[in-house]
Amino acid sequence: MGRKWNNIKEKKASKDANTSRIYAKFGLEIYVAAKKGEPNPESNAALKFVLERAKTYNVPKAIIDRAIEKAKGSSDEHYEELRYEGFGPSGSMIIVDALTNNVNRTAPVVRSAFNKSGGNMGVSGSVSYMFDATAVIGVEGKSLDEVMEIMLEADVDVRDILEEDEAVMVYAAPDQFNAVQEAFKNAGVSEFIIAEITMLAQNFVTLPEDAIASFEKLIDALEDLEDVQQVYHNVELE
């Protein structure tokens, strides 16, 4: 499972290079989460989760506060969560998660992004069965043994704990996300290099050299779409 962190890290690096785009997407995600329940993370688990993710991307407090204040207003704007699945160059598999206030707009632009970059959109379930929803939480400054001890003492059910680069990564079922974080926090860890629930491919593929540019163009095109929040894939990144 170790190489999966490399893919997540690359995605984070790409987003960090496009801060205005990622901040806008987080602003929307925070607004939608706050609108679903109380605009208070202590009583709204969905909002708390988004805010934890936002911390790892250094989203400014002003953007967070503005999104929450907007959710407190009387706006009746409604957003739907949508998932699209498709294929990229050389049989690569891609999952696209979107938040949209216009369903009729989103599907055509996602399909167009696939078509223009050598891919094609598939039907629901055509790709997702090859991915697992996974909580991924990473820390620095702790050894592998220390993290294992923390999880054992807290009796947290995890799938794997791996030392990768200079970090220790904990992989767990999505419903264990809060338990893993609380175990770390109780052990004095307050900073995470990653803390999110992602879709991890069960198997990764390496693209031929002549397909890499087309694949990267497709991923960029999808991530640039206003309605798209997350893009997952099964391509091994160097």
Q: What is the dihedral of CA 127, 129, 135, 140, to 10 degrees?
A: -60
Q: pLDDT tens for residues 97-134? A: 999 999 999 999 999 999 998 899 999 999 999 999 99
Please report which confidence band the pLDDT of residue 37 belongs to, taking 50, 70 and 90 as the band edges: confident
- pLDDT for res 31: 94
Q: Indicate the pTM of the whole model.
A: 0.88
- pLDDT at residue 67 in the model: 93
Which CATH fold topology does 130-201 show? Alpha-Beta Plaits (3.30.70)
Reported as a pLDDT band with limits 50, 70 and 90, residue 6 is: low
2-72 with 130-201: one CATH topology? Answer: no
Tokens of 203: 């198997």
Average pLDDT, the chain: 89
Rounded-to-integer distance, Cα 169 and Cα 193, Å:
9
pLDDT of residue 3: 47
Starting from the edge strand earliest in sequence, which strands make up the sheet with 160-164, in order? 160-164, 167-172, 131-140, 194-201
Query: pLDDT digit string (tens) for 43-90?
Result: 999 999 999 999 988 899 999 999 999 998 877 788 999 999 999 999
The domain covering 2-72 belongs, at the CATH homologous superfamily level, to Integrase, N-terminal zinc-binding domain (1.10.10.200)
pLDDT digits (tens, 9 = 90+) for 152-198: 999 999 999 999 878 899 999 999 999 999 999 999 998 999 999 99
pLDDT given at position 91: 87
Using left for φ > 0, alpha for ψ between -120 and 50, and beta otherwise, residue 83 falls in: beta
- Cα separation, 4 vs 170, in Å, equals 12
Task: For the chain, give every domain's residue range.
Answer: 2-72, 80-128+203-233, 130-201
Q: Which CATH superfamily is domain 80-128+203-233 in?
A: YebC, transcriptional regulation domain (3.30.70.980)
Distance CA 174, CA 132 (A): 10
